[in-house]
Structure formats: C-alpha cells, structure tokens
Amino acid sequence: MSTIRFQALKEASNRNPVKFEETDRKSTIFGSNVFNEKAMKQYLTSDAFKGVQGAVQHGTKIDRKLADYIAMGMKEWALSKGVTHYTHWFQPLTGTTAEKHDAFFETSYDGSDPVEKFGGAQLVQQEPDASSFPNGGIRNTFEARGYTAWDPTSPAFIFGTTLCIPTVFISYTGEALDYKTPLLRALTAIDEAATEVCKYFDKNVKKVTATLGWEQEYFLIDSALASSRPDLMMTGRTLLGHTSAKGQQLDDHYFGAIPTRALTYMRDLEQECMLLGIPVKTRHNEVAPNQFELAPIFEETNLAVDHNCLLMDVMQKVAERHDFKVLFHEKPFKGVNGSGKHNNWSLATDTGVNLLSPSKTPMSNLQFLTFFINTIKAVNDNEALLRGAIASASNDHRLGANEAPPAIISVFIGEQLTKVLDELEGVTAGKLSPEEKTDLKLNVVGKIPDVLLDNTDRNRTSPFAFTGNKFEFRAVGSTANCSNAMTTLNAIVGKQLRDFKKEVDALIESKDMKKDDAIFNVLREYIKQSKKILFEGDGYSEEWEIEAAKRGLSNFKTTPQALKARASQQALDLFSEMGIMNHIEVEARYEIELEEYTKKIQIEGRVLGDISKNHVIPTAIRYQNTLIENVKGLKDIFGTEFETIAKEQIILIKEISRHIEGINSKVEAMTNERKKANVLTDAQEMAEAYCDKVKPYFEIIREHCDKLELLVDNELWTLTKYRELLFTK
C-alpha cells in the first residue's frame, strides 16, 4: 500500500558505501582550486600581483587597466584547469548563495574568431537580473538596479568547471543588498577602532583582524528516505512523526565511531574542501542519531563566512554522490537535539597577537583585559540587538529548548576571570598609588595566564561564553549566514572600543593621568556597568528566566519579537555612526527578515495541512475500514456476543474518528487564521499573527497525526517513520 515509504526503505537498506579514494595528502592539494598567492605569483605580472595584495591588505583601489591584467591572469589560470565559465558569486538576502554563469567563449559580431575572453570589466562589475532578490523596498524606493562588484579580499575559486568570483551586491544608489557588504564595513570599523586601542600597548600594530571559526552541525539522512517525506523536502524539517522508542537517551552516538557511509561522505567532502582552500579540521558525531559536526581552522572573518556559505553548497552537492540529503535545519526532528553553528570569535593583530588570549606579562594582560572587558560591555549594552541578529523561524525551535542556549543573551567568563573582575572593580578612583599599581600588576593582572585555559569550565548552557582565548557565540543557527551575527558583534565591539579610546584619552588629557591609570579607571566603571550580562549558572533553568527579568535582560522567545531590536533607534544610530549601514539598509533588513519569517510559517502551515489531510486521514480511514470489516465479521459469527469480542476494535474505530475530526477542524481553523493574517498590511503585525495565531495549531494537529501513527497498521502508514529516518545508517 504505502509504496513510496517501503520502496525508499528497501533502497536505503540495500546501499553500500560509495567507493572513494583520496587523490593525495591534504596538505599537497590544499587550495589548488583557489586563485591564491601562489597561483597569483605564477599567473600575474608583478604590478598586478602588488595591486591585488594592496587591495587585500590596505583596501587600495584597483584601476581599470590593472583589473584587465588581473583578469587576464585569472583567466589563464582557470583555463589551465579546464574551466569554461565564470560567475560572480554573492550572498543576497535570501540566505543562499547566488550565481549566474557566463562562458568565457566569445565570437566577433559576425560569429567569426571564436576565442576565450575575460576582461577587467567582467571581473570587476556585473549586473545580474536582480529584480527577484529580496530588497526590503530599497529598489522600489530608488528605482535602482543592483550590481555585483568584485571583493578582492576573498580569493576567486573553481567549482566544477566554473570560476567563481566572490562579490558584493549593491544597488546603484549604493545600498547593500547582500550580507557581505555590511560585514566588510563592520570589519573595517572594528579594525580601525581596535588598532587605535592597541596603540596604547604597542605602537607597531597597524591592523587588527576579526577572526571566526564556525562549527557546523548537520544531519545526514538517506536521500531516498528524505525524498519520501514531503515535509522534509518542502520545509527542511519534519512537521509530524511520532518520536522513536529509541532516541538519544543512551548517549551512544556522541563521539562514537562514525558509520562507514557517513565517514566515506565526510572524506569525500573534506577532499573537496581542501581543493577549495577551506581548512576543515574536525569531524565527529553529535548528540542526536545521524547528527554530525564539521569545523575548520579559524580564519579572517570575511573569508570564514564565505567558506561557510561555500561549504553548505558543497556539502549538499557531495551528498548527492553518496545518496544522502544534508539537513541544515535547526530542528529537523522533534525529541532529539537540534543543530547550531557556534561562532568562535576573536581579534588578532598584524604583529601576531591574539587580543583575547591572556599572556605572560602584566602589560600584555592589561591589553587582554581591555579587549575582554570591552567585549563584555558591548554585549551588555546591545544584548537585544545581538539576539535579533540570530533570530529566524527555524532558530526559534532551538533557542530556549533546553538543549541549546536560551533566548536570553548572557556572558559566561568562568570562575577565575570573575575573580579578576571583582578585584579590578575595587581599584581606587582617580590616580593609583604606586603600591596599588604594583599589587594589581603582580597579583591580579599578572596572575591570569597560569591556570586560565584549564579553568574555563565549559558551561554549555551559555549563549556567549569565553573559552580561554576567544568568545564562543553559541546561539547562531545552523542554517544562518554567519554574517548577521558577525556584522553585529563586530559593530558593537567596534563602537565600544571607539568609546573606550575617547574616555581614556579624556582622562589622560583632563585629569593628567598616566595611561594605565586611565585604563584601569575606565575598565573599573565598565565592570560596574556590565554586571547584568554576566551569568555563570544554568542557562536552562527557570530561576535564570526570573533572575534575568529582574536584571532587565530581554527574553524574546519568538522571531517577530526579537526582530524589533534590529531596527530600534539604538541599532539605527549604531550602524550609521560606524558607517556600516544607513537607516534604509537597516530597515530593509528588518522588513526582509519579517517577511521571511511569515513565509516560512505560511509554507509550514500549508504543508502540514496538506500532509495531514491527504496522507494521514486517508490512511487512517483505510485502517478504520479494515477494523469495521473485522467487527462486521465477528458479528456475523458470534451474534450478540460480538460486543465483548470486538470491544477493542470498536474503541479503536471511535478513537480514529476522534483524531480525524481533530485534524479536520484544526486544519480549518488554522486556514482561517492564515486568511486573516494575509490581509494585514504591516509586516510586523503579519509576522506576529503567523507566530501567535497560526503556528500554535501546528502542535495540536501534529499530536492527532502522531497518535494515529501509533494506532494505524504499520504496513499501511505512508510516511517514513522517525526510527527509519534516524537509525538508517
């Protein structure tokens, strides 16, 4: 009967690992499909090479003539590797990457002189037909079209037979239509602010780079099984399905041996990543069955974000070769853990210092404390904005779901650093006596390094944790483009560092203070002002929700609520002051994210209505008919005695009817709420209606369906079950 499910199960259970052999050692193939320094040195004239390096390191402009030379070298390199097409590769606000392929191949106007061509003009700027990308009203307002422009700080790469050129995507009036542009601006802003602060400690610092190391979690499901579930295919998650008798309660998957098919997939994937210069390093099982994690060595943030976007594409493509489907959704299955994407973040100087790493001397530890405390202050003052930056319909399932960080943003720093901050808080106001300074330097600031790395206990419930030499922003969703989180984090810390510098300079000038006196004084005040954000306890506990409310921390459990902070006056001021986004750009993003939320819930509602009415109910009726036949037969044989003999069947028949009625009435009620929501004109109101009026039906409808799954004959059930999705290896 339920042929698709059983065909899929047969297909999946007959699979063997695909044959795969590594072509070479990882280190020898690393980056060979990237137009990196080595390739540039080989294919570019020395002027062209210097031009690119200057643009990467100092943001100098590349003129048209130089661009022609660079394009020529790039083309020769690509042709030598069998490339036929090129594309501008960019990250529109749809959340996926976009590309439009053009062939190098060209002819003269009359079709003669066929030749491979690629000039500076094609490298530097393109105009994709951008009318169908989300723009939050930007283009409507300005009647402007969008164009893509080369981002030389992220090297071009080859995927398949296409040369991909990372680009920004902006409107002709200059507004950013993508994720990358604001990120690049935020990285410039934090570079400038952090470099100025570094000069208090080391005059030689000329550049500060924000670093990012993401950890990508995902599920790997057999492609035949995944295709047999319309909800997985349409929404990325299962909208119904009774939890499997065995889930993750035995903890037998985490760090266990990776199943052979999955391992072969990972080896193949890692080879692709190596060719593309993505420095993947770690792979392991995660907590839930069929859940895994992949993490690279950290990189400069813009490059790391590109690499994560690219990785998500590559993962899906490589999965096809291994008959897998990758699920990036934050909560594909009820009852087992969801997926996140921890964003490990730090700041590094061009002199090779990690600014969030404690070190050996008191002076460099004062530098560490400066960046450490400024980061805490930035998060303290902008917690709602940071929460808004990670809000999405799918991440709502995860935040606060007792497995992932709560929806309340707080900072965990560990016992040791808590003590250090307590001591710094007691620093005398004004000028410090020589004795106090010596004591501070020897006994407080000087003592940090010894025990710190071993002592940062891993508080897994904290959304923003200091882990020894970096902060780990754990609340980012597994489907997210890291840009949103990283643009916001670097913007708020950049702004904070800028303010810090002003305050310290003011003390030095007006109060005639020594530099380190002034620094101690400002840091002391910051510690006092940032108390509410520091939390060392259990972030999953109810007590924390109550405590956080008392402290005045926000606790936005849903995306429509959380998104408001994205376009608050504070956000508008911050982004424009830092030169990252103007008001139009900020408001456009807020609108787009609201719309995306609404659409996601709308699609889920439709798919759920469809599956429950067209799959679940017909199956339930079929089984109910079998039961009715059975009862009739028993009556024929046993006469009046049938009532006792067929008792259980009759109860089942009634129960099935009750659930069918439940599904029908709730789907109808949900559809009515959708209709009401659809006529609202305000994006915020519409998203709230979908959140508060439509979405609550999902669980109720699901419950009826999941009960029926338990009642109905397994042979008749059409939808692939949880145990089959989760435990097929």
The CA distance from 330 to 245, in Å, is 22
Residue 345, binding choice from ligand ADP, Mg ion, none, Cβ under 5 to 8 Å by partner class: ligand ADP
Query: In this complex, which beta carbon is closest to ligand ADP, that of residue 165 or of residue 212?
Result: 212
Query: In this complex, which beta carbon is closest to Mg ion, that of residue 246 or of residue 281?
Result: 281
The CA distance from 228 to 632, in Å, is 35
The CA distance from 435 to 424, in Å, is 15
Chain residues that interact with ligand ADP, rule: CB under 6 A:
211-213, 215, 295-298, 344-346, 354, 467, 469-470
Q: How far is the CB of 211 from Mg ion (least distance, A)?
A: 14
Query: In this complex, which beta carbon is closest to ligand ADP, that of residue 382 or of residue 456?
Result: 456
Q: How far is the CB of 342 from ligand ADP (least distance, A)?
A: 7
- Other CB atoms within 10 Å distance of the CB of residue 528: 11
Query: In this complex, which beta carbon is closest to ligand ADP, that of residue 437 or of residue 474?
Result: 474
Tell which residue, 225, 12, 11, 14, has the closest CA to residue 719: 225
Which residues fall within 8 angstroms of residue 308, CB to CB, at 6 or more apart?
Answer: 214, 216, 341, 481, 482
Residue 211, binding choice from Mg ion, ligand ADP, none, Cβ under 5 to 8 Å by partner class: ligand ADP
Q: How far is the CB of 284 from ligand ADP (least distance, A)?
A: 9
Residue 470, binding choice from Mg ion, ligand ADP, none, Cβ under 5 to 8 Å by partner class: ligand ADP
Query: In this complex, which beta carbon is closest to Mg ion, that of residue 278 or of residue 588?
Result: 278
Residue 612, binding choice from ligand ADP, Mg ion, none, Cβ under 5 to 8 Å by partner class: none
Residue 330, binding choice from Mg ion, ligand ADP, none, Cβ under 5 to 8 Å by partner class: none
Q: How far is the CB of 466 from ligand ADP (least distance, A)?
A: 11
Q: Terminus-to-terminus CA distance in the chain, angstroms?
A: 25
Q: How far is the CB of 308 from ligand ADP (least distance, A)?
A: 11
List the structure tokens of 553.
């921390």
Query: In this complex, which beta carbon is closest to ligand ADP, that of residue 348 or of residue 617?
Result: 348
Determine which helix (DSSP H) or strand (DSSP E) holds 209, and give its type and residue range.
Answer: strand 208-222
What secondary structure does DSSP assign to 440-502, as a single string?
IIIIIITTSHHHHHHH----TT-SEEE-SSSEEETT-BTTS-THHHHHHHHHHHHHHHHHHHH
- Region 344-403 residues binding Mg ion, contact defined as CB under 5 A: none
- Region 320-349 residues binding Mg ion, contact defined as CB under 5 A: 342
Q: How far is the CB of 402 from Mg ion (least distance, A)?
A: 18
Q: How far is the CB of 296 from ligand ADP (least distance, A)?
A: 6
Query: In this complex, which beta carbon is closest to ligand ADP, that of residue 145 or of residue 207?
Result: 207
What value does the CA radius of gyration of the chain take, rounded to a whole number of Å?
Answer: 29
Which residues fall within 8 angstroms of residue 101, CB to CB, at 6 or more apart?
Answer: 85, 86, 87, 162
Asked whether position 75 contacts Mg ion by CB under 5 A, the answer is no
Task: Report CA 477 to chain centroid distance, whole Å.
Answer: 4
The CA distance from 397 to 338, in Å, is 8
Q: Are 623 and 656 in contact (CB under 8 A)?
A: yes
Query: In this complex, which beta carbon is closest to Mg ion, that of residue 334 or of residue 342?
Result: 342
Q: How far is the CB of 555 from ligand ADP (least distance, A)?
A: 26
> Which residue in the shown chain puts its C-beta closest to ligand ADP?
213
- Other CB atoms within 10 Å distance of the CB of residue 46: 8
Q: How far is the CB of 467 from Mg ion (least distance, A)?
A: 7
Q: Are 569 and 590 in contact (CB under 8 A)?
A: no
Residue 295, binding choice from ligand ADP, Mg ion, none, Cβ under 5 to 8 Å by partner class: ligand ADP
Which residues fall within 8 angstroms of residue 444, CB to CB, at 6 or more apart?
Answer: 420, 423, 424
Single-letter code of the amino acid located at 38: K
Query: In this complex, which beta carbon is closest to ligand ADP, that of residue 141 or of residue 354?
Result: 354
The CA distance from 250 to 242, in Å, is 19
β-strands 341-349, 208-222: how paired?
A: antiparallel
List the structure tokens of 24.
């070479």
Measured CA to CA in angstroms, residue 237 lies from 231, 393, 603, 619 at distances of 6, 12, 12, 22
Query: In this complex, which beta carbon is closest to ligand ADP, that of residue 48 or of residue 347?
Result: 347
Residue 297, binding choice from Mg ion, ligand ADP, none, Cβ under 5 to 8 Å by partner class: ligand ADP
Site for Mg ion (CB under 5 A): how many residues? 1
Query: In this complex, which beta carbon is closest to ligand ADP, that of residue 215 or of residue 222?
Result: 215
Q: How far is the CB of 105 from ligand ADP (least distance, A)?
A: 41
Residue 346, binding choice from Mg ion, ligand ADP, none, Cβ under 5 to 8 Å by partner class: ligand ADP
Q: How far is the CB of 245 from ligand ADP (least distance, A)?
A: 31
Interface with Mg ion (CB under 5 A) = 342
